[in-house]
Structure 1
Amino acid sequence: MSGPEQNKDRAWGEYWADQARRGGKGTGCLPEAMHSIARAQQQCWSGFADALPHNADVLDLATGNGILLHWLKAMRPDLSLTGIDLAPQLPPPPAGCRTMPSTRMENIPLGDASFDAIVSQFGFEYSDVAATIGEISRLLRDGGTVGLLLHRGDGPILEHNIARREAIRWVLEEQSLFEALRRRMDKGAEGRARAIEHAESVARQGAHIFGQQSPAWEISEAARQTLALGAKDNVEGITRTFAVIAQRAGEEMDRLGDLEDACATADNRAALLALFAEAGFEAGETQAISAGAEERPFADFLPFCKTR
């Protein structure tokens, strides 16, 4: 595996590990305020789940924090649910479900014809889709179904996250925040005071440009608090904390870059449909999913049935 791919895997692994430490709470890549998006997702999956056979075996690709497993289990307690994800550490799955960390969609160590349905919510499009479709075909029983909830490049989720990535880029690259703070810290107690003032200034600018609670404000405020609360002679400790904050911010930028690439893959709809057709699948009607009648669609739901 190449260096960039390892970095991406580590970024996602750290993300879901953090979710695990918090008990699996969180909204994944969704904006925190967009609870209506989650409700629309659940409604979408409710119709799919209703049509599954009794005691169906279901595989969730790129399960992440397991939110889809939780929803499906609540909708259909009889389902046998398995989730896979490339992250090495995942939050606990719902009772009676199992998850398989460190497992890529393109190479799933499970037996042929093991599942009645395979699903993915904002995960399939992150993969090498041709290889993943091959695995779906291998793992799915004849007559089995596939449900894919895919990102849209013209939707509010990508828009929100591109703005978030720009705020991170601004504070890390344009402002070079941590380099500027370290230079000031090298000048003793007076430098420490100037570093705090600089972090406060960048936080104010970030809030003005990108909004209060934006990453530009969050990162700068975290740096300010690190300086203000750290022991006056503990420069090394403060520097280590800066490195952790910068690393996590950089990993988020990597994840948001992955999201943009995934949207481009999902938007190349003709290519996806052709790959599924070649693998012996019949496509159902695509459904645009929105958070309300007046809202832009944030995703498309694509159903398939294995015909050969």
Structure 2
Amino acid sequence: MTSENPWTLYWQSGNLYSCIASQDAKDQTYIDEFWAEFAKGMAQGAQLLDLASGNGAVPVALLAANTSLSISAVDLADIAPERLAEKFDTLGEVQFFPETDICDLPFDDARFDGVTSQFGLEYAPQSLALREAARVLKPGAPMRLLLHHNESGIVRPAETVIAEIEALTRPDGLIEHLKRFVREQGELRDLEAAGRDYLDDPAGKSKHISGQIMAGISRVIDDRQSFPERALALASGMEQRLVAESVRLSQLRSAALDEASASLLQMAAIEAGFGSVSIDEQFVGDQDPALVGWALHALRL
């Protein structure tokens, strides 16, 4: 088990993107276009603030469309964008502020020419976060948010993954059999039987969970005789990551907005000092479009 921020574990694992709307690899391309439109509308040298940035997916998309932008990025987790610097060289141009609360920003009033956030602001106390965003924005500056929708192709599959992780980590589940095997409290045949039960279970499975679990078990079995401490650490680490992923997805599900809560967020933005506030469903893809979230557009009064 772990008490560490599940998002810290996620970003420290070297991820750039936290969510896509389907298994279609083009999804992120469409989301990048959403941010490119915003970036192209900004003046040369504009200073932008990306809230709850993670490892910088939005800054990468913004800078791809407008290389002159100066971007600051904050996140409450202990992010690790440096792990992605070789693949995304523009990350080196972004000033990151890890372990920073978007409800208590370390910036002067009216500092920025624009604010962005992708699947982030909705996790925070929304009224406080919106007031802080308004405080650091210049009058007339735009804010664009992409927010979780409770019926989106991101949120709905989370239920299946959470259920899968609960099955894996229950007292008689596959992970417990793995730990017993490593501690020489269980036989290989028992572990193999638990593995077959997991794979044969008709309940839905996600490729990234099942693939990593089976590969990890193979490594544990290989290490058990010659490197027992390493095998135990690997088994415990698998459990830690699974629990953290379940917590992360549960937070994602809880943060997602239905139509009523989206309307409340719109009102909160108005009360925080924004005008021209609109919030609409955002889809990605040309054929059979997938619902990706809510798009909020606003201007600082």
Aligned CA RMSD, in angstroms, stands at 2.6
- State which of 17, 21, 25 in structure 2 corresponds to 1:27: 17
- State which of 34, 58, 68 in structure 2 corresponds to 1:78: 68
Q: Does 1:251 align with 2:244?
A: yes
Q: Percent identity?
A: 24
The whole-number CA distance in structure 2 between the counterparts of 1:301 and 1:212 is 27
Letter in 1 for 2:66: R
Letter in 1 for 2:134: S
The within-5 A match list for 1:212-231 is 213=207, 215-216=209-210, 218-219=212-213, 221-222=214-215, 224-231=217-224
Offset, 1:186: 5.7
The structure whose residues are more often helix, as a share, is: 1
Residue aligning to 2:113: 116
Residue aligning to 2:28: 38
Offset, 1:175: 4.4
**Partner SS for 1:210:** coil
Measured against aligned partners, the alpha-carbon deviations of 1:145-179 in whole angstroms (never above 9, x if no partner) come to 10001111011111122221211111112742232
Pair 1:174–1:217, CA change in 2 (3 A):
farther
Q: Which ranges of 4 or more aligned residues in structure 1 deviate by more than 6 Å?
A: none
Offset, 1:226: 3.5
Residue aligning to 1:11: 6
Offset, 1:265: 7.5
The whole-number CA distance in structure 2 between the counterparts of 1:74 and 1:300 is 23
Offset, 1:29: 2.5
Gaps of 5+ in 2: 83-89
Residue aligning to 1:291: 284
- State which of 135, 159, 164 in structure 2 corresponds to 1:162: 159
Letter in 2 for 1:301: A
Measured against aligned partners, the alpha-carbon deviations of 1:57-91 in whole angstroms (never above 9, x if no partner) come to 10000111211101111111111111111122321
TM-score by length of 2: 0.87
TM-score by length of 1: 0.85
- State which of 47, 57, 63 in structure 1 corresponds to 2:37: 47
Residue aligning to 2:169: 172
The whole-number CA distance in structure 1 between the counterparts of 2:23 and 2:290 is 16
The whole-number CA distance in structure 1 between the counterparts of 2:171 and 2:209 is 14
The whole-number CA distance in structure 2 between the counterparts of 1:285 and 1:31 is 22
Q: Does 1:194 align with 2:155?
A: no
